[in-house]
Amino acid sequence: MIKRWDFHIHSDLSPCADDEMTPNNIVNMALIKGLSGISITDHNSIKNLIAIEKVAKDKGLDFLPGVELTTKEEIHVLIYFESMDQYQAMDTFLSEVLPRRANRPGLFGHQRIYDENDRVIGEEENLLMNATRASLEEAYRFSNEIDGLFVPAHIDRSSFSILSNLGFIPPHLGIRMIELSKNTSVEQFYKNHPWAKTLSYLKNSDAHHLVDLLEGTEANCFDIQNGESVLKHLKNHQL
Ligand SMILES: [Zn+2]
Ligand SMILES: [Zn+2]
């Protein structure tokens, strides 16, 4: 069955995301756009995943839990995990590596935690925009420990990307999938980085506003068999 996914969306928990990025608004917009599945990948926190997964399930939208971690090197990486079973391990890891520095909502934006009825049930106090103490290597190792999928984010961007900050993808890590920004031409990227043709890629919205979610027609498209999880599919179809 053909499934259309946007794997990189921020909720209102991310300080830089719009206040309108609530669980129900995101799920409703994904359905309007013709998506069949979404991942929520907030900066350095997963505290809205439970509510959004509930809403998604209720409305028939597939959901893959994820996070956008900022490594010590200020590289953004996406880590996807199979199910909420790994939620606790991920939550503990993030709380261990996130520096204790208070957010100033007036300056950086709110970091709201919601329930499935879009009620605000809390606010993350530590600023989620900071780099964590986890190195790229440590983050990769942790992702493997929880059988996650590790995808360096928006690697074509001139900041907060593995190429902008390291200049290359360390070959010993065995990274096989990358993310390109929504507005990048894949052909142009391959022209400048021919080695990238040996890797699989995702092209996501990195939406911070509702209107930015991918349209179904521009989404990541996969033929997924009944009973096969999207994460397994991604792992099995990496180059
Ligand atoms: Zn990013
Ligand atoms: Zn992002």
Question: Structure tokens of 205?
Answer: 């919205």
Q: Give the global pTM.
A: 0.97
Query: What's the 206 CA to ligand 1 centre distance in angstroms?
Result: 7
Stretches where the chain sits below pLDDT 50 are none
| Crossing angle between the packed helical segments 49-58 and 23-32, to the nearest 10 degrees | 40
How far, in Å, is the centroid of ligand 2 from the Cα of 148? 18
Structure confidence at residue 175 (pLDDT): 94
Go through 150-160 and write b for each residue having 16 or more CB atoms within 10 A of its CB, e for each that does not.
bbbbbbbbeeb
- Ligand lying closest to the C-alpha of residue 208: 2
Residue 16 neighbours by CB distance under 10 Å: 13
pLDDT of residue 153: 98
CA of 112 to the centre of ligand 2 (A): 16
Q: Which domains, and CATH codes, for the chain?
A: 2-236 (3.20.20.140)
* Structure confidence at residue 4 (pLDDT): 97
Cα 98 to ligand 1 centre (Å): 16
| Ligand 1 centroid to residue 239 C-alpha, Å | 23
The pLDDT, as a whole number, for residue 15 is 97
Q: What pLDDT is stored for residue 239 in this prediction?
A: 62
Q: Which residues surround ligand 2, an ion (CB under 5 A)?
A: 68, 206
- Give the Cα separation of 167 and 162 in Å (integer): 7
Six token digits for residue 227: 């009973």
Exposed, middle or buried, 60 (CB in 10 Å: 0-12/13-18/19+)? exposed
Rounded CA-CA distance 239/234 in Å is 10
* Rounded distance from Cα 46 to ligand 1 centre (Å): 15
Please name which of 14, 49, 9 lies closest in space to residue 205, comparing C-alpha atoms: 9
**Tens-digit pLDDT profile for residues 84-106:** 779 999 999 999 999 999 999 99
Which ligand gives the minimal distance to the CA of 161?
Answer: 1
